[in-house]
Structure 1
Amino acid sequence: MNPDDLLALVNKTMPFGKYEGRLLADLPGHYLGWFAREGFPRGEIGRLLALMYEIDHNNLRDLLVPLRSKF
């Protein structure tokens, strides 16, 4: 994992779907779980969604709080 990926989670928005426009870090766990079951998209967005799924699944969302306040 690249440390810049954590910053991307708090700065990039979901480009499509039901939660289009929402920060990746703010996507609900059930939505991330759906991607984990059905398959993540290819490319950067898929990689970031998979990372956010792991963070959410392991109850580590608090790790992103300090990054939100930096920017």
Structure 2
Amino acid sequence: MLVGVTAPGIDGLITPFDCAPPKGDMSVHTTMTSNVLQSNFFHPFPPGGWVMLFLLGRPGLYWAIAVVLLDN
């Protein structure tokens, strides 16, 4: 059992996935504890995964750079 503050505005932790209001630290601790108890961990990329990420991500990166440069 985890005990902590979950009220909005108290101990706010801003994450990239927040909409509003910011989540508290207690949400992070409960998610981490749940993942550990269920053996639901992050898995590393397979050996060829970085090559696929590079090949698939490069066009998107070029597009993002072109949008920024053409916007100015």
User: Do the two structures share a fold, i.e. TM-score over 0.5?
Assistant: no
More strand by share: 2
More helix by share: 1
Q: How does the TM-score come out when normalised to structure 1? A: 0.31
